[in-house]
Chain A
C-alpha cells in the first residue's frame, strides 16, 4: 500500500527538494501564487474544510472547521505553527523541516492568507536549534523571492513569518501554554473557553496548527480536494507521517495513507522491517506517550483515528513505539510516568502531586524490585484521583501508562509483590527503609 507520490515527505520523490529552486520547479509556491491572485481567503478555508484535513498534533480536529471558528471581522489575528514536538516517540516535525522546509513555509503562508492574518510564528522546542537555523534560511529565501513581506506579488497582502524557540518544556506544546510561552511567560495552560480562535496570543483571535498539518495545505490547494481525498479513509483522509521507534529493525518516519494496518508499518521490509532479532512484540503505543497501550493482538488494527479509538487507544501524534518482550511493563509505566512528572507544569494539584506519587511508588517497584501488596490498590487509587480532575491533558495523559500496565500485565506487578514477600526481611523493605504508603481514598 505504498504511495506512488508523497504528500509531505516529498524528499523521497525529489531528494533535492530542500533547495529553494528545486522546490519551485516541482510546483512549489504555485498554489500560494494562484491563491493570492485568483482566490478569496474564504475559498481556501472551504477547500481545506472539504479536504477533510485533520490536525496532526494529537487531537485530529478538522483543520478547516477550526479555521471557521474565527470571529468575523476581528483583527489582528495570529497564526501559530506548533513545532514543540516533545512527546516521547514523536520525531517527524523536525525531519520535515530538515528535508522539505519550503513546503512548510508555503503551508504557513497559505494558511495565513486563508485566515487573513499578517503575522505567523513557528514555535520550535528549544532543542531544535539547528533546525531553527534551517527554517530561518528557508524563510529568508521566501522573502527574497517576494513571497513574504509587504504587498506580496502586488496583491496588497502583507505577511511576516518568524521562528521562535522555546527553552525546554513539553507543556509548551499545549496550545494555550504555547501562547503563554510566546508572550514571555512560564508555560502554564490557560482555562478554556475562551478558545484560542476567539482569544489567543495577546488576547487576539489565533489559529494554532501542527507542522505536519500545515505542510499538507499547499498540496491540497495545488492538486485539489478530490486528489487529496483519494488517499486514506473517508473520515481520515490523506496520509500520516508515522514516527516508528523502539525494537523494530528500521525505525524512522514513514508516510503512509491513513488506514494501513499496524502490522504493515511494523513488519513490511520497506518500513519497520520487523522486530529486532525476530522477538515477539509486547507493548505497542500507537500515538505517543499519552496513548493507551495495545498489544500483539492489535496488529491488524488499521491506523486511522476511528479504528485506533475503537481498539481502545488513540492515534494521537502518530508516534508508534513498539517494545518487545525484553521490557517489563511496570518499568515502562515507570519511565513514561517519570516523563509526565518531569514535565508537569505544577499548576494543578492532581497532576503535580499525582505524577509525583505514581513515580515514587513505581520507582520502588520497577527500579528497586520492592513492592508491598498495598502498592497495587495505591496505584489504582492515585490514577483514579487524577483522571478527569486535571487542568489540562498532560495530567490526564499521565494516567494512561500506569492504567494500561495494570490492566494488561497485572501479573507482573503481582510477581514483584510475591517476590518481595518471600524475601527473608519479609515486608518488601529489605533495607529497613519505610516508604510512606499514601492513604487510600474511595474510588470516584
Chain B
C-alpha cells in the first residue's frame, strides 16, 4: 500500500543510500505517519519494501524510542526530565500536565488527544522546562503555561493528524510577548535572547539534611525532591 501511495517519496529515500537497508528509519517514519502507529502489518510492509526479514525491522522498531508499536494520541508530549531540566521546573511541569490531562506517564487521554511521556535530555537545556509535541520543540514551558499549551494543541488537532507524529513536517515553538504560542520563523535573522535585567527570583532554600526517615509517612505517590 505504501508503495502505491508514496512511490515517489520512497524512491527518493532509497536513492540516497548505497544499501537499501539504510532506508529503514526513514521508511518507518513514513509508515508511522500514514498508519498512525507501527502496526504489525506496517512493519511487515516496510520489511517487504526493503527485502528484509521482518524480525530485523521489528528489532529496529523495538530499539528506537521514537517508533510506536501501539496506538498513541494525536499529540505525543515528550517532556525532558533530565539534568538540568529536572532542577529547573521539569517535575512541576510534568505534575501540571498529569493533573490537567488526568493521566499518568505512558498513558493516553480517553479522547485519544494526548500521550504523555518522560524523555531524556532534548538538547535544549538552556530553554528549560522543555517538551516536544510530535517532535515540535516547545521551549520555556513553565507550569503556568500548560493550559495555554494544551488549548493551542487541541485547536491544531486536525493539522497534527495530517502531519503525523514523526516530525517530517516539524516546526518549533516559543512564547510571544503577549503569552501566545508562536512558531519560530526559521528564516528570520538571529535575535539575541532577552534575559531579565534583574536577577531571577531567589530559589528555594535547600532542604535540610533529614533528621528522621524522610520517606516514612510520605504518601506512596509523592516523590521526595530533590532528595
Residues of B within 8 A of A276 (CB): 199-200, 202-203
Answer yes or no: A279 CB below 8 A from chain B CBs.
Answer: yes
Residues of B within 8 A of A119 (CB): 18
A71-103 at interface with B (beta carbon < 8 Å): 76, 85-91, 93-94, 98-99
Residues of A within 8 A of B60 (CB): 184-186
Answer yes or no: A425 CB below 8 A from chain B CBs.
Answer: yes
Interface size class of B (residues with CB under 8 A): 35 or more
Answer yes or no: B175 CB below 8 A from chain A CBs.
Answer: no
Answer yes or no: B24 CB below 8 A from chain A CBs.
Answer: yes
- Asked if B213 contacts A130 (CB within 8 A), the reply is no
Q: How many residues of A contact B (CB 8 A)?
A: 94
A35-74 at interface with B (beta carbon < 8 Å): none
- Asked if B67 contacts A167 (CB within 8 A), the reply is yes
Partner of B64, one of A166, A244, A273: A166
Tell me how far the C-beta of B19 lies from the nearest C-beta in chain A, rounded to whole angstroms. 6
Interface string of B178-216 (1 = CB under 8 A from A): 000000101101111101000111111111011111111
Answer yes or no: B43 CB below 8 A from chain A CBs.
Answer: no
- Asked if B123 contacts A167 (CB within 8 A), the reply is no
Chain A residues packing against B (C-beta within 8 Å): 11-12, 15-19, 76, 85-91, 93-94, 98-99, 119, 125-130, 132-134, 160, 162, 164-170, 181-187, 202, 243-247, 249-253, 273-274, 276-279, 289, 321, 323-328, 330-332, 335-336, 339, 342-343, 345, 366-370, 412, 415-416, 419-420, 422-423, 425, 428, 430
Q: Which applies to chain B's interface (DSSP): helix, strand, loop or mixed?
A: loop
Residues of A within 8 A of B52 (CB): 184
Answer yes or no: B110 CB below 8 A from chain A CBs.
Answer: no
- Asked if B193 contacts A416 (CB within 8 A), the reply is no
Known: A130-B170, A130-B172. A165 touches B25 (CB 8 A): yes
- Asked if B203 contacts A277 (CB within 8 A), the reply is yes
Known: A129-B135, A430-B213. A245 touches B84 (CB 8 A): yes
Known: A167-B28, A335-B86. A133 touches B170 (CB 8 A): yes
Residues of A within 8 A of B22 (CB): 164, 182-184
Partner of B216, one of A91, A412, A425: A425
Residues of A within 8 A of B199 (CB): 249, 273-274, 276-278
Tell me how far the C-beta of B27 lies from the nearest C-beta in chain A, rounded to whole angstroms. 9
- Asked if B25 contacts A85 (CB within 8 A), the reply is no
- Asked if B120 contacts A339 (CB within 8 A), the reply is yes
Residues of B within 8 A of A243 (CB): 125-126
- Asked if A370 contacts B25 (CB within 8 A), the reply is no
In the complex, the chain B residue whose C-beta lies closest to that of A16 is B189
Partner of A183, one of B21, B166, B226: B21
In the complex, the chain A residue whose C-beta lies closest to that of B213 is A423
**Cα–Cα, bound, A415→B189 (Å):** 52
- Asked if B126 contacts A251 (CB within 8 A), the reply is yes
